[in-house]
Amino acid sequence: MICNYIKLKNYRNIEEAEVFFENGVNVLIGDNAQGKTNLLEGIYTFALGKSFRGAKEADVIKFGENESLSMIGFTTNSRSDIQTLKIRLRKGSRRQIEMNGVRLERLSEMIGSFRAVLFCPEHLSLIKEGPSMRRNYLDVAISQFRPVYLRSLQRYHAILEQRNKLIKNAEDDRVTLDATIGLWSEQLAHEAAVIANFRSKYVKKVGEEVAKYFEKMTGMSEKVEMQYIGSSKQTEEEYGDIKAIENRYLQLLTENIDREIGASSTLWGIHKDDIEILINGKSARMFGSQGQQRSLALAMKLAEGDICFSETGDRPVLLLDDVLSELDEKRRKFLLSNVRDRQVIITTCEKTDFGEAKRINVEGGKYSV
């Protein structure tokens, strides 16, 4: 997968820009607040379907403007002609998305066509943060190569919202709850089962890759394991069987409704999942050193790219936002020596030597080579 170019208009601090990238390493160099991350944000939006900075859609429109345009051209292993994706945002009206000139109804329809892996400093806390960051890791990673996963996830969250509303209103309206909760629980259990099944398979695969990277990086033979921890607390074998997961969730959601009313929310489901990461059988989150936690996070990001490659036959574009300055010399070298065979777009404030990289200078929302 190669991002050949990006064109931006009235996007963040960028009035107008057209930036071309090469196959190997591309480095965006500039001082703080010049527009390095803004450009990566623009690119990654085409992979993620939204801003990775959690911005509201209109936030990316340049201050004082009403409309922004972004467009990328990219090539894949299986198709060498340049494909395009385009997003037009306008204040007060619906965004427009085009893929190869054809309008798409939903942003999520384009996900999986242009694939990228983002690694930014926040990801270095993947291990020590709470579970929601790890769930997000799984959701982003799996959605890149399994659009059905993303659709399940979207349905799941819509159903969860409805079910939570019923539960919150239970004191005032127990009748409606008793009449309808069963249906919501069934639908929720079904989507939860599909998602848990994907997540459990993914954790198994990615865990094996992470263990290998960790060993190479540290030169030690500590045993790293990753385990999927679903809130239905089933075994790995059971998570291989969608019907078994669905039945268990339905049972939990049916038998514990009074507890859920007490807590004012749905207490079981994939919104409570986590990944347990163990070093020699001990929780890396609780007992790992900061260095070990960072090495694991780095390994998880590299492995995310590898699994995407093995699932699609194409290496996703690697976007490294300011992460090199956060890593020590050893880990920085390790990262760079493991990403030679793909396109990488790096942002940095430092004038480090990147060898044969394409250098792009960034100043005030302008990009020059």
Ligand X SMILES: Nc1ncnc2c1ncn2[C@@H]1O[C@H](COP(=O)(O)OP(=O)(O)O)[C@@H](O)[C@H]1O
Binding stretches for Mg ion (CB under 5 A)? 36-37
Token look-up 């290496």 returns 315
Among 145, 121, 100, 200, residue whose Cα is nearest residue 310: 145
Q: Which is nearer to ligand X, 107 or 349 (CB)?
A: 349
- Interacting partner of 269 out of ligand X, Mg ion, none (Cβ under 5 to 8 A depending on kind): none
Of 306 and 321, CB closest to Mg ion: 321
Interacting residue ranges for ligand X, rule: CB under 6 A: 12-13, 30, 32-38, 59-63, 347, 362
Nearest to 293 by CA among 304, 308, 283, 302: 283
The nearer residue to ligand X, 30 or 207, going by C-beta atoms, is 30
Q: Write b or e for each residue in 297-323: b if 16 or more Cβ atoms lie within 10 A of its Cβ, otherwise e.
A: bbbbbbbbbbbbbebbebbbbbbbbbb
Min separation Cβ 365 and ligand X, Å = 7
Query: If you count them, how many residues does the chain have?
Result: 369
- Whichever of 30 and 73 has its CB closer to ligand X, that residue is 30
DSSP 8-state class, residue 268: S
Query: Which CB, 121 or 130, lies closer to Mg ion?
Result: 121
Compute, in degrees rounded to 10, the torsion defined by CA atoms 284, 287, 290, 293. Answer: 0
Q: Which does 232 bind (CB under 5 to 8 A by kind): ligand X, Mg ion, none?
A: none
63 binds, among ligand X, Mg ion, none (CB under 5 to 8 A by kind): ligand X
**Rounded Cα–Cα distance for residues 64 and 111 (Å):** 30
Q: Rounded to the nearest whole angstrom, what is the least distance from the CB of residue 68 to Mg ion in the complex?
A: 19
Report the alpha-carbon distance of residue 334 to residue 337 in Å, rounded. 5
- As measured in angstroms, the least distance from the Cβ of 322 to Mg ion is 5
Eight-state DSSP code of residue 34: S
CB of 48 to ligand X, least distance (A): 17
Q: How far is the CB of 305 from ligand X (least distance, A)?
A: 22
